[in-house]
Amino acid sequence: MNCIGIIMDGNRRWAKEKNLPQFAGHEAGYQKLLEVLGWAREAGARNLIVYAFSTENWNRPDEEVSYLMKLIEMVIEERVQKIAEEKVRVRFIGELDKFPERVRKSMRVLEEKTAIFKEYTLGIAVSYGGKAEIISAVKRLPQNIMQNLTEEEFSKYLWTGDFPDPELIIRTGGQKRLSNFLLWRAAYSELYFTDTYWPALSKEEFLSAIKFFAGTQRNFGK
């Protein structure tokens, strides 16, 4: 499998059921991402794209958004050396100019430090929306290619332009929709939904998603 996409849903509900502050859910979600990155590599996936913060998430309460900014910055700064040791390239995907400059700087540092790694790539979708990605790509298209534009050429102008289409998209948390995630890329992705909240996802259930994918027949409409 070349690429897996994950919608990491259920952090806040997981925390609420455990009578914990919702911030604890986000922290547990970050810890789970580190585990799943390892599971994906063991399963043979060379690319993992995770939905960490949507364009709509900016509308959450100011206190929560502020916490998420601090968490993202802390995660980046704390994980730089560890990720480098694991030889994983990191890419941030989305409207990055909406983040505070200190956060953008941390993102750039992490991307630059891991750019040399080619075997495994972790894409972190932050301030990301599938519709916004498509509109951004349209605005960046050179006028001289419009006449003979192909799907392959258009894909190069997406924020995910250097990623392959995900063969499998996993969504935790019980909802059964894409929620504006990888709308262009997900045209022929297999979709796996689970009621399990993201922080509670087990390796066994992750492998069940991989087994589900292995049992599908992908004919791409043919």
Is 73 annotated as a binding-site member?
A: no
User: Does 162 qualify as catalytic in the annotation?
Assistant: no
Is 10 annotated as a binding-site member?
A: yes
The residue from 2, 9, 165, 180 that is catalytic is: 9
Alpha helices in the chain (DSSP H): 11-17, 22-42, 62-86, 101-114, 130-140, 151-155, 203-214
Query: Which residues lie closer than 8 Å to 120 by C-beta, 6 or more apart?
Result: 41, 46, 47, 48, 86, 87, 88, 89
Is 56 annotated as a binding-site member?
A: yes
User: Does 9 qualify as catalytic in the annotation?
Assistant: yes
Is 58 annotated as a binding-site member?
A: yes
pLDDT at 46: 95
Average pLDDT over residues 37-51: 93
List the domain boundaries for the chain. 3-214
pLDDT at 143: 84
Is 114 annotated as a binding-site member?
A: no
Token pair recorded at residue 30: 């970050």
Q: Note the CATH number of domain 3-214.
A: 3.40.1180.10
Q: What is the pLDDT of residues 93-151, one digit of tens each?
A: 999 998 888 888 888 988 998 999 989 999 999 999 999 999 999 999 988 888 889 99
Q: What is the pLDDT of residues 53-87, one digit of tens each?
A: 887 778 878 887 887 777 777 777 776 667 767 88
pTM for this model (two decimals): 0.90
pLDDT band with cut points at 50, 70 and 90 for residue 42 = very high
Is 9 annotated as a binding-site member?
A: yes
Q: Is the pLDDT of residue 180 over 90?
A: yes
Q: Do 95 and 58 touch, CB atoms closer than 8 A?
A: no
Q: Do 193 and 6 touch, CB atoms closer than 8 A?
A: no
Is 13 annotated as a binding-site member?
A: yes
Count of Cβ atoms closer than 10 Å to residue 120 Cβ: 18
The residue from 19, 57, 144, 180 that is catalytic is: 57
pLDDT at 125: 93
Average pLDDT over residues 201-218: 90
Average pLDDT over residues 179-188: 95
Q: Is the pLDDT of residue 217 over 80?
A: no
Q: Is the pLDDT of residue 195 over 80?
A: yes
Least trusted range by pLDDT, from 67-76, 185-194, 201-210: 67-76
